[in-house]
Amino acid sequence: MSQQIVVQPQPRMWLENSILQPYVSLYGAHLSRGRYAPSTQRVYLRCVAHFAHWLTGKRCGLSAIDEALVARFLSEHLPVCKCPYPVRRLRHELRAALSQLLEVLRADGVGTLDPTSRTVVAQELARFDGHMRDVWGLADSTRRQRGNIVGAFLLAHFGEGQITMSKIDAASVQRFVIGDQGRSAGSIRVIGGAISCYLRFRSMTGDQVGELAAAIPRPAHWRLASLPEVFSDAEIDTLLRSFEHPFPSHRRAYAMTRCLIDLGLRCSEVVNLRLEDIDWTNGTISLCRTKTRRTDVLPLPRATGSAIVAYLREERPQTSNRAIFVRHVAPYDTPIGRGVVERAVLASYRRCGWSCTGVHILRHSVASRLLRTGVPMKDIADVLRHRSLDTSAIYAKVDLTKLAAVAMPWPGSAS
């Protein structure tokens, strides 16, 4: 039993009589390294004890413990749980505690399945993901999205059986892409694009899938058909003033938001910023882990640099993580996710009394502001790191003053 974490007799007995007993001390050491509070460590160990008690009743072996088994515990057992006090039943606590347990088990080699023992669909998705990564060079987020869609497609058609593309007909592909209830044009494009990508992968292995690819619905999509939503300079000032009154982690939230507003960064790029990426002497910032996989160097505005410095000096916790923006709660030495950036911005919208829900509005606003000040489109594309001017062209539509100068009078109007 762990000497650092003290729990009640009942959960202690569950742990000692389970297959997880050899990992209790390792789990406690893992939480200590992550600087979890003692009270949180006790709660998490009781959550693991609950899971251990369920494993014992189900007679599950160590090799069976993975995300799927944890999901089964949460979805099947928890709603009908009658385990005695002091069992922990809060879903978010159990999910967090068991996520850390999986890390401990994997670090010890448990739960790392032999590829030959994986399901047919899992093996196929692994090959597809490797092809997208190594041959097509797709970003991690794109691969995850397409992998999830293709996984659902394969399970719907083959279950856990062998994958034989000749058993699929064009009508079933159409039904999957459109959905039973009917999907929006945007959803159809995303799902259809993922299935088309997978069929292209299968065609490279020799499958005849031309008829299936031709059956994928392609809803009408006119580029540049809509105006992007942008903030005016006054609204940007209002947004920045919403950080003046302190709140938990307000310096981090302010610095991250300034990166979005001043540099036009994506949320993922803010998360990936590291201490060594800033050249304080020359006043530049390097973007090395971007969507385009290129290293871009941008000038670092004084206001942005000052916000980052204030965060580093006054709020950033002590950590071995080299990321500029780090977690403020345990585990401290793991990177933050893009959700931290998104939540910080959405919270600022709420403080302003706005109903906006998109963080990308700030990136559009950067382009709009540059355009209004007369910056050429090529320079705007460079700042936003667009490979093609066509990608940046939508921002020209927000410059109503310049558009009005070239607009022809409407027939029958007073002008």
How many whole angstroms separate alpha carbon 251 and alpha carbon 248?
8
Rounded to 10 degrees, what is the CA torsion of 365, 371, 375, 381? 60
Rounded to 10 degrees, what is the CA torsion of 229, 230, 235, 239? 90
How many whole angstroms separate alpha carbon 408 and alpha carbon 415?
10
Active site (annotated) includes residue 88:
no
Do 291 and 139 form a contact (C-beta atoms < 8 A)? yes
Catalytic residue among 328, 360, 372, 397: 360
Residues in contact with 171: Cβ distance below 8 Å, sequence separation at least 6, in sequence order: 215
Catalytic residue among 131, 146, 364, 386: 386
Active site (annotated) includes residue 386:
yes
Catalytic residue among 266, 327, 364, 385: 266
Of 84, 74, 80, 81, residue with least CA distance to 10: 84
Active site (annotated) includes residue 363:
yes
Active site (annotated) includes residue 349:
no
How many whole angstroms separate alpha carbon 267 and alpha carbon 259?
9
Active site (annotated) includes residue 328:
no
Catalytic residue among 363, 364, 369, 385: 363
Catalytic residue among 44, 198, 311, 395: 395
CA 237 to chain centre: 28
Of 232, 242, 261, 249, residue with least CA distance to 372: 232
Q: For residue 75, what is the DSSP state?
A: I
Catalytic residue among 89, 91, 118, 291: 291
How many other CB atoms are there within 10 angstroms of residue 16's CB atom?
Answer: 13
Q: How far is CA 313 from CA 173, 318, 399, in A?
A: 55, 11, 40
Active site (annotated) includes residue 266:
yes
Could you tell me what percentage of the chain is helix, strand and coil, using 3-state DSSP and rounding each to the nearest 5?
60, 5, 35
In the block, which residue shows the tokens 């706005």?
354
How many whole angstroms separate alpha carbon 360 and alpha carbon 346?
11
DSSP string, 123-151: HHHHHHHHHHHHTS---HHHHHHHHHHHH
Q: State the sign of the Cα–Cα–Cα–Cα dihedral 103, 107, 108, 111.
A: positive
Give the residue numbers annotated as catalytic, written as ranges.
266, 291, 360, 363, 386, 395
